[in-house]
Amino acid sequence: MEIPVPPPVRWICDVLRGSGYQAFVVGGGVRDALLGRPVHDWDVATDAPPDAVQRLFPRTVPTGIEFGTVTVIIDSQAVQVTTFRSEGGYRDARHPGWVTFGQRIEDDLKRRDLTVNALAYDPASGRFVDPYGGQADLANRIIRTVGHPVERFQEDALRLMRAVRLAAELGFRLDGRTAAGIRCCAPRLERVSRERVGEEWRRLLAAPDAGRGLMLLYRTRLLPWVLPGAPKLERVAVRRTVAALERLAASGAATKMAAVLYGLSSPEADAALLRSLVYSRQASRQVSHLAQCLRDFRRDAVHSDAALRRFLARVGREHVPPFLELWRAWQPLESHRLGRELDRWAERVLAAGAALSPGELAVDGTDIQQAGGVPPGPQVGALLTRLWEHVLEHPEDNTRDRLLTLIKAWATEQRCSG
Ligand code: ATP
Ligand code: MG
What per-residue confidence (pLDDT) applies to 82? 97
Nearest to 100 by CA among 112, 111, 84, 113: 84
Residues 267 and 295 in one domain: yes
- Is position 1 within any domain? no
How many angstroms is it from 43 CA to the middle of ligand 2?
A: 7
User: pTM (2 decimals)?
Assistant: 0.91
Residues 376 and 272 in one domain: no
What per-residue confidence (pLDDT) applies to 353? 77
Strands 77-83 and 43-46: parallel
Atom of ligand 1 nearest to the CA of 32: 3
| Alpha-carbon span 417 to 283, nearest angstrom | 46
Residues 127 and 18 in one domain: yes
How many angstroms is it from 28 CA to the middle of ligand 1?
A: 6
Regarding the beta carbon of 117 and ligand 1, being less than 6 Å apart is answered yes
Q: Nearest residue CA, atom 3 of ligand 1?
A: 28
Regarding the beta carbon of 112 and ligand 1, being less than 6 Å apart is answered yes
- Is position 37 within any domain? yes
- Is position 27 within any domain? yes
For residue 30, which amino acid is it?
A: V
- Which one of the ligands is nearest to 112 CA? 1
Residues 83 and 188 in one domain: no
Domain span at residue 277? 227-352
Burial tier of 282 (Cβ tally within 10 Å: 0-12, 13-18, 19+): exposed
Ramachandran sector of residue 133 (left: φ over 0; alpha: ψ -120 to 50; beta: rest): left
- Which one of the ligands is nearest to 157 CA? 1
What is the DSSP code (8-state) at residue 103?
S
Contacts of 405 (CB under 8 A, 6+ apart): none
SS3 267: coil
Domain final residue pick, 352, 374, 406: 352
How many angstroms is it from 26 CA to the middle of ligand 1?
A: 10
What per-residue confidence (pLDDT) applies to 205? 98
Burial tier of 217 (Cβ tally within 10 Å: 0-12, 13-18, 19+): buried
Beta bridge partners of 70: 81
Regarding the beta carbon of 158 and ligand 1, being less than 6 Å apart is answered yes
Apex CA 260: angle with CA 238 and CA 268, to 5°?
105
Regarding the beta carbon of 82 and ligand 1, being less than 6 Å apart is answered no
Regarding the beta carbon of 113 and ligand 1, being less than 6 Å apart is answered yes
How many angstroms is it from 134 CA to the middle of ligand 1?
A: 14
- In this structure, are residues 12 and 81 in contact, taking their beta carbons and an 8 Å threshold? yes
| Alpha-carbon span 347 to 369, nearest angstrom | 33
Residues 249 and 155 in one domain: no
Regarding the beta carbon of 229 and ligand 1, being less than 6 Å apart is answered no
How many angstroms is it from 237 CA to the middle of ligand 1?
A: 32
Q: Could you tell which of 113, 159, 178, 191 is best to mutate to test the pocket of ligand 1, judged by most ligand atoms within 8 Å of the CB? A: 113
Q: Cα 314 from chain centroid? A: 26
Q: What is the CATH number of the domain that holds 20?
A: 3.30.460.10
Q: Nearest residue CA, atom 22 of ligand 1?
A: 112
- In this structure, are residues 263 and 273 in contact, taking their beta carbons and an 8 Å threshold? no
Series of mean pLDDT values for 10-residue runs along the chain (418 residues) = 91 97 97 96 96 96 92 93 91 87 94 97 96 98 98 97 97 98 98 98 96 98 97 97 96 97 97 98 97 87 86 93 92 61 83 86 92 90 92 91 92 76
- Is position 136 within any domain? no
Regarding the beta carbon of 155 and ligand 1, being less than 6 Å apart is answered no
- In this structure, are residues 357 and 388 in contact, taking their beta carbons and an 8 Å threshold? yes
Residues 345 and 365 in one domain: no
Residues 208 and 300 in one domain: no
DSSP 327-351: HHHHGGGS--TTGGGHHHHHHHHHH
Q: Give me the half-sphere count of Cα atoms (radius 13 Å) on the Cβ side of residue 270.
A: 22
Name the strand (E) or helix (H) holding 23: strand 23-26
Ranges assigned E (strand) in 36-154: 43-46, 60-64, 69-74, 77-83, 85-88, 98-101, 120-122, 127-129, 142-143
How many angstroms is it from 409 CA to the middle of ligand 1?
A: 69
Residues 381 and 347 in one domain: no
Name the strand (E) or helix (H) holding 179: helix 176-185
| Alpha-carbon span 169 to 167, nearest angstrom | 6
Q: How many domains does the chain have?
A: 4
Residues 340 and 371 in one domain: no
Beta bridge partners of 128: 121
Residues 74 and 165 in one domain: no
What per-residue confidence (pLDDT) applies to 386? 93
| Alpha-carbon span 83 to 67, nearest angstrom | 8
How many angstroms is it from 346 CA to the middle of ligand 1?
A: 45
Residues 380 and 304 in one domain: no
| Alpha-carbon span 243 to 228, nearest angstrom | 22
Nearest to 204 by CA among 169, 241, 178, 230: 169
